Amino acid sequence: MNIKDIAGICGVSPSTVSKILHGRDADISAATRKRVLDAVKEYQYMPYSKVIRNASYKSNVIGVLMSGEEYGAGELLYAIEQAASDNGYSTILCNTQGDGKRAFRHIHVLQNKKVDGMICISQKRELMQNFDAPVVWVEKGRTENPGENAEAVYYEEEEAGYLAVNYLIEKGHTKISCILSEGDEAVEAGCRRAFQENQLFLNGELIFRGAVEEIREAGLTRYLDMGSTAVVCRDAETGNLVCERLRERGVLVPGNVSVISVRDSALAQKMLPRLTAVHVPFEQLAEAAVGKLLEMIEKQEPSDEFEKRWKLSVVERSSVKPPLRHIQGGKIVVVGSLNMDCMVNVSHIPTNGETLSSHSLQFLPGGKGANQAVGVGKLDGQVYMIGCLGNDSDGKEIYNNLVNSGVKIEGVIFDNALATGKAYVNVAPDGESTIVVYPGANSRLDCSQIQRFGYLLNNAKYCLLNLELEEEVVEYTIQKCKAKNVEVILKPSVVEKVKESLFEKIDYFIPNEKELKQLVQGPVGIEEKAEVLFEKGVKNVIVTLGHKGCYLRNQEYARFFPAADFFPVDTTGGADAFISCFAVYMSEGYNIIEAIGFATYAAGICITRLGVQTALTNRTGLELYADEIWEKFLKGKEGNL
C-alpha cells in the first residue's frame, strides 16, 4: 500500500496525506485530518515500505490470512506457528471472519508490516492480486494454477463424503442418511460418488443439506425417521445431536444405528459413544505450507518431497458397527415394575431371626418389568415399556438405563408422591437369592395408565406381564391384549394364587419351580403340576428349573430341556433373562423349541454375573453359542432331570 492508496480511500490528494503525516497540516480541517489518520491506523500504513522492501529488507515474519470459523483453524494455526518458529520466523495472524472487506484491509496491513510471505487458508484469489511477496494457498479442493510466485497444498472435501459413505458400506450398511450443511456441495458429491460406485440406489430424500438451524429444527426429525441404519453427519456437533435424538427414542448407537462425521474434532473423541470421523491431516498440511513458503522466500531449490495433495483417513472409534444381521421381530410391550435393586452379598441366605454381616453392597437398576425390557433391548428387540417411577435420583437412573439399553420409554411416567420402588436382594455364594420388595411408585401403575398408553399395544406381537402388579391392572392389561390380538407372556411372582378366569387368556405362562408349587398344591411332580395349568386353559406352560433346565407343556410337547452349563454367581436375573430372550426369538419367527434353546443360554450367561440388568447378554454374546444350542436343543437331545 502506498500514499496514493490512502489518498484514494480518504478522497483527498496524496499531497494532503503527506502534509498530515509530516505535521504540516495547519490549513487542513480537523475532519479531514481525522479521516486520514484513521485510515493510516486502520491499514497500518508505513511510508516508504516499498522502498525498504526493494532494498532487500527481510523481516523474518510471515502472515497468515484465515477465518477463525474455518474447519481445522486451530490445528492449522498452531502447526503453522510451530513450523515457522522452528525455522526462525514469527507469524502474524489475520482473522477475516469470512468478510472480504476485512480480508482486504488485513492484506494491506501485512504489506505494511513487510511480511516476507503469506499463507492464505481458503481465501479468494483476487484478494492477493497486488501482493508482492510469495504466497502459499491452503485449499479444500484441487489447485492446478496457484498463480505467479505462489504455490498450493490442498485436500479434497469430496473425499470426506466419499470415505464416510464407503466406510459404512464396507461395514454392511446400505441405507444411509446424510445430514450436511449449506456449504457441503463437495462433501455431498463424494457421498453420491460412493453410492454410485457401489451400485446402491440413492433416494434423493436421504441427503439433507441446509443451514444449521434447519438441521436442528427439521433435518434431524425428518432424516431419523427414514429407517436408515447409519447416518453421515456434517461435524461432531451434529453427530452429538443425532446421538442424543436417537437416545431419546430408545435407539442405540451403534447398536441400532451407526453414526459417522465427515469432520473430526476434539468433541468426537469425548462423546459417548466416541464418534468415528474422517480426519484431515492439518498438521502435515501446515508443515508442508510453511516449508514451501520458506523455500520460496529464501530462494532454495524446490524439494522433491513436497506433497501438494494430502489424503484423508477414517479414524475408527465406537459409533459404527455392522447393521443388525437379523430381521428385527415384532413389537414387544413390557408392563411391569421398575425398582432400584439393593444387592447384599451374604455368606448364606439368612433364616428366621438371624443377623448376618455383608462384605459387599451394590445399588443397581432392576424390577421385573425393567429387567425384561432391558433384556429385550440388549438383544436388539423392538421393545416399549409401561411403568411408573418416583421423581427421584433412583428413578432418573433407571430411566436413563432403559434409554441406553434401547427401550422406548414413552409409556413410563414419574410420580411425585412416592419414591421409586426398591428390591432388597440377599445373594449367597452359590448364586441363590431371596428378595424383599418395596413397591413404591410401582403401586401408582393403574388401569388409567394402561388405557392412556394402550396405543403402544397396537400391532404388538407380545406383552410381557408379571404379578408384582395390582391384580386389576394385570386383568385389564390382558383384556386390552386380547382385544388387540397381542399374545400374553406372564411371569407369576409374589402371589400364591392366580385367578382361574385368567388362565385361558394366557398364551405363555412361565413360573419357576417354587411358584409352580404355590400355584398347584400337592405331592405330584412337575409334569403333573404343569398338566393341571395346561388343562385350565394355559396354551403354553414353561417351568424354569434353575440348574435343572426347564419343562414345556403345550398341545405338541411335554418335554424337559437341559440347563446351559454355566457356573452360577448370582441367579437373581435368570428368569428375566429367559423370558426376555424367549420373547425376542419368538417375535422373530423362531419356533418355540429354538426360542427356549436361546433363552436357556441367555439365562445361563446372566447368572455368571452379579446383578440383573448389567448381567443380561447382548445379541453378539448370545449367538456365540448358536452352534452349541443347535446341537443341544434342536437335534433331539432333550436331557433328563
Co-location of 266 and 335 in the same domain: no
How far is Cα 618 from Cα 523, in angstroms, rounded to an integer? 40
Co-location of 380 and 505 in the same domain: yes
Tens digits of residue pLDDT in 346-384 = 888 888 778 888 877 888 898 999 999 999 999 989 999
SS3 content of the chain, % helix, strand, coil (to 5): 40, 20, 40
Co-location of 397 and 546 in the same domain: yes
- The span from the first CA to the last CA of the chain, in angstroms, equals 97
The residue that leads in pLDDT, 241 or 431, is: 241
Q: In the chain, how many domains are there?
A: 3
The residue that leads in pLDDT, 527 or 328, is: 527
**Cis ω on the peptide bond leading into residue 350 (within 30° of 0)?**
no
For 278, the enclosing helix (H) or strand (E) is strand 276-279
What pLDDT score was predicted for residue 57?
56
Tens digits of residue pLDDT in 158-176 = 999 999 999 999 998 888 9
Cβ contact 554:534 at 8 Å: yes
How far is Cα 199 from Cα 318, in angstroms, rounded to an integer? 27
Locate all alpha helices (DSSP H) within 113-235, ordered by sequence: 157-170, 185-197, 212-214, 220-223
The residue that leads in pLDDT, 346 or 259, is: 259
In the structure, what pLDDT confidence band is assigned to residue 48 with cuts at 50, 70 and 90? low
**pLDDT surpassing 70 at residue 205:** no
**pLDDT surpassing 80 at residue 564:** yes
**pLDDT surpassing 50 at residue 511:** yes
Cβ contact 175:227 at 8 Å: yes
How far is Cα 306 from Cα 52, in angstroms, rounded to an integer? 32
C-alpha atoms less than 13 angstroms from C-alpha of 524 in its C-beta half-sphere: 13
What would the mean pLDDT of 179-189 be, rounded to a whole number? 91
What pLDDT score was predicted for residue 203?
61
The C-alpha cell at 501 is 378366569
In the structure, what pLDDT confidence band is assigned to residue 39 with cuts at 50, 70 and 90? confident
What pLDDT score was predicted for residue 638?
45
How far is Cα 560 from Cα 556, in angstroms, rounded to an integer? 13
The residue that leads in pLDDT, 471 or 487, is: 487
How far is Cα 533 from Cα 541, in angstroms, rounded to an integer? 7
Residue 488 inside a domain? The answer is yes
Task: Give the CA angle between residues 497, 501, 507 to the nearest 5°.
Answer: 90
Cβ contact 575:510 at 8 Å: yes
The C-alpha cell at 84 is 515457522
How far is Cα 128 from Cα 501, in angstroms, rounded to an integer? 88
**pLDDT surpassing 60 at residue 18:** yes
Co-location of 256 and 335 in the same domain: no
Q: Which of 47, 62, 84 is the last residue of a domain?
A: 47
In the structure, what pLDDT confidence band is assigned to residue 55 with cuts at 50, 70 and 90? very low
Residue 312 inside a domain? The answer is no
Tens digits of residue pLDDT in 214-250 = 776 666 666 666 778 899 999 999 999 888 888 877 7
Burial 399-412 (b: 16+ CB within 10 A, else e): bebbbbbbbbbebb
**pLDDT surpassing 70 at residue 76:** yes
What would the mean pLDDT of 111-117 be, rounded to a whole number? 83
How much is the mean pLDDT over the chain?
Answer: 87
**pLDDT surpassing 80 at residue 207:** yes
How far is Cα 394 from Cα 420, in angstroms, rounded to an integer? 6
What would the mean pLDDT of 500-520 be, rounded to a whole number? 93
Co-location of 254 and 335 in the same domain: no
**pLDDT surpassing 60 at residue 490:** yes
Co-location of 460 and 592 in the same domain: yes
In the structure, what pLDDT confidence band is assigned to residue 418 with cuts at 50, 70 and 90? very high
Count the Cβ atoms, other than its own, within 10 Å of residue 202: 17
CATH of residue 171: 3.40.50.2300
Residue 362 inside a domain? The answer is no
Give one DSSP letter per residue of 436-481, joined into a string.
EEE-GGGGG--HHHHHHTGGGGTTEEEEEEETTS-HHHHHHHHHHH
C-alpha atoms less than 13 angstroms from C-alpha of 605 in its C-beta half-sphere: 23
Distance from CA of residue 300 to its chain's centroid?
A: 50
The C-alpha cell at 421 is 420402588
Helix (H, G, I), strand (E, B) or coil at 509: strand
**pLDDT surpassing 80 at residue 420:** yes
Percent of the chain at pLDDT exceeding 90: 51
Residue 503 inside a domain? The answer is yes
Co-location of 373 and 265 in the same domain: no
CATH of residue 603: 3.40.1190.20
Co-location of 463 and 553 in the same domain: yes
Q: Are strands 558-561 and 550-553 parallel, antiparallel or unpaired?
A: antiparallel
The C-alpha cell at 413 is 411416567
Residue 207 inside a domain? The answer is yes
Co-location of 394 and 533 in the same domain: yes
CATH of residue 34: 1.10.260.40
* Crossing angle of the two packed helices 3-10 and 14-21, in degrees rounded to 10: 110
How far is Cα 197 from Cα 189, in angstroms, rounded to an integer? 12
Secondary structure string (H, E, C) spanning 83-114: HHHHCCCEEEEEECCCCHHHHHHHHHHHHHCC
Co-location of 272 and 335 in the same domain: no
Instruction: List C-alpha distances in Å: 447 to 367, 387, 450, 477, 487.
Output: 19, 11, 5, 8, 19
The C-alpha cell at 618 is 447382548
Co-location of 253 and 377 in the same domain: no
What pLDDT score was predicted for residue 363?
87
**pLDDT surpassing 80 at residue 582:** yes
Residue 324 inside a domain? The answer is no
Co-location of 335 and 271 in the same domain: no
Residue 271 inside a domain? The answer is yes
Residue 315 inside a domain? The answer is no
Cβ contact 320:255 at 8 Å: no
Of 124-128, 383-387, 536-540, give the lowest mean pLDDT range: 124-128
The C-alpha cell at 378 is 440388549
How far is Cα 309 from Cα 329, in angstroms, rounded to an integer? 48
What would the mean pLDDT of 517-534 be, rounded to a whole number? 93
The residue that leads in pLDDT, 217 or 54, is: 217
Domain residues for the domain of 583 are 331-339+367-421+441-633
